[in-house]
Amino acid sequence: MDYAFILGTHPAWSVAEIASVLGESGLFWENERILIKKDAEIAAESLIKNLGGVLKIGQIEFFTPLSTPTPQLAKRCARLLVDKASRGEGKLVFGLSDQGVGGRFAADKLGLNIKKELKLLNISSRLVTSRDKELSSVVVGQNKLLSKGAELIFFLHRQDLFVVRTLAIQPFKDLSRRDFGRPARDDHSGMLPPKLAQILINCAGARSRGDMILDPFCGSGTIITEAMLMGYQNLIGTDLSERAIKDSRVNAEWIRELYGLDVRPKFHIKNAMRLSQFFKPNSVDIIVTEPYLGPQRGLDDIEAVKRELENLYAESMSNFYRILKPGGRVAMVWPVFFGHEFLKPSLDKWQMVKAVPEKFQKLPWLKLSYRDTLLYHREGQRVWRELIILEK
């Protein structure tokens, strides 16, 4: 079957994680927000729980020329809904998302036509609409489209209109609970959003769920707790701060109980710059981390902060090099301070790995930094995140 992935706010980060998890073969980056995976068998509901950058996964059902008259297209969509939509009690609930089809496509008109067609088949239905052309995962979830009907997504490929039926949406309630509901929070040091933690873990490319994952700046433990949920069994978090280790233990226990997991990560107070005194050489499979990114407030002398971070990262990275297995990877975030040069800690022996597969590097919508890395930022943020992937 052929699948479509609807990508999140930072599509290139999403593509990087999908390529790392599913492999590059059969992947086509269709437009900025859609990635296609051809000829695959995907368990969409379980997969989407582990992909922080993916909003929806759907199955490509059919395609038809964009010039197809609306009544004819409506008939085909109605038939698709009859055959494949979930049916709960009461009305069949459906919604249509225009994923950048362009001017000649009117989802509203099509929706009303589909309703009419369904009525002719004695099926009463409710059409869910929203202000945006694309229904958000929240709208799809709250209207129970996947259990009481279906969402159809439309996108354009050359002169053809592709029709996708949504199979799974991002578990936004769960993610928000893990983000804002965790018992131990440290707003002062800053916490990684769980979605971004998942993307980092995926980009590190562990080979098996038994691989040892280390987060040497674990803070309140987001990377470790997300890795627990993704099924990793061998997890270690270290941090210089006693409070961080306490918080991580509390949060990991909370996740264990909430999701009924069997895994028990280990946490230790350690300086990342001295880790090779604690771990044996060549013993860690992958390192995933968001390190100290500089003071959260009062960033006066940015050049001094940059020098301090370059020193911390260079020293830590040389320890990581010793303890990682050959071929092992580090996926980490570095800060980019708006209006300043990128960080350049010395990294003698490491190989920089491109996050996005080579075959997508020339696509016009792919925005890379001058050194081919991916950047992540929200509106108004002055400190951006840079994704760094290194291989020993």
Ligand X SMILES: C[S@@+](CC[C@H](N)C(=O)[O-])C[C@H]1O[C@@H](n2cnc3c(N)ncnc32)[C@H](O)[C@@H]1O
In the bound state with ligand X, the residue whose beta carbon lies nearer, of 189 and 373, is 189
Residue 375 lies near ligand X (rule: CB under 6 A): no
Q: Please report how close the Cβ of residue 313 comes to ligand X at its closest, in angstroms.
A: 10
Tell me: does residue 192 bind ligand X (CB under 6 A): yes
- Tell me if 337 contacts ligand X by CB under 6 A: no
Nearest residue (CB) to ligand X, 8 versus 335 = 335
Structure tokens at 106: 């009117």
Number of residues engaging ligand X in binding (CB under 6 A): 22
Q: Which residues pair with 332 in a beta bridge?
A: 289, 388
Q: What's the closest the beta carbon of residue 258 comes to ligand X, in angstroms?
A: 17
Backbone angles phi and psi of 69, in degrees to 5? -60, 145
Q: Is 222 in the site for ligand X (CB under 6 A)?
A: yes
d(CA 302, CA 337): 8
Backbone phi, then psi, for 389, in 5-degree steps? -120, 125
Residue 293 found at the interface with ligand X (CB under 6 A): yes
226 touching ligand X, by CB under 6 A: no
**Between residues 92 and 255, which has the closer beta carbon with respect to ligand X?**
255
What phi-psi label fits residue 158: left (phi over 0), alpha (psi between -120 and 50 degrees) or beta?
left
- Per CB under 6 A, the list member of 17, 98, 226, 239 interacting with ligand X is 239
**Single-letter residue type at 290:** E
| Spatial CB neighbours of 59, under 8 Å, sequence gap ≥ 6 | 1, 2, 3, 4, 44, 164, 165, 167
* Closer Cβ to ligand X, 119 or 274, answer by number: 274
Query: Is 217 a residue that touches ligand X (CB under 6 A)?
Result: yes
* Residue 285 binds to ligand X (criterion: CB under 6 A): no
Residues 15/374, Cβ–Cβ less than 8 Å: no
Q: Considering only the stretches 27-35, 50-58, 85-93, 270-278, report the one whose residues sit in contact with ligand X under the rule CB under 6 A.
A: 270-278
Give the residue with the Cβ less far from ligand X, 160 or 179.
179
Q: What is the DSSP letter of 247?
A: H
Give the residue from 244, 9, 246 showing the smallest Cα distance to 134. 9
Q: Stretches 8-16, 134-142, 189-197, 362-370: which one binds ligand X (CB under 6 A)?
A: 189-197
240 near ligand X, rule: CB under 6 A: yes
Q: How far apart are CA 309 and CA 293, in angstroms?
A: 7
Among 11, 219, 265, 294, binds ligand X (CB under 6 A): 219
SS3 181: coil
**Contact status: 191 vs ligand X (CB under 6 A):** yes
As a whole number of angstroms, the distance between CA 4 and CA 165 comes to 9
- Region from 35-43, 94-102, 158-166, 285-293 binding ligand X, contact rule CB under 6 A: 285-293
- Kindly state the tokens that stand for 283: 């013993």
Helix or strand run (H / E) with residue 71 = helix 70-84
When asked if residue 198 is in the footprint of ligand X (CB under 6 A), the reply is no
Residues in contact with ligand X by the rule CB under 6 A:
189-192, 216-217, 219-220, 222-223, 239-241, 244, 271-273, 290-293, 312
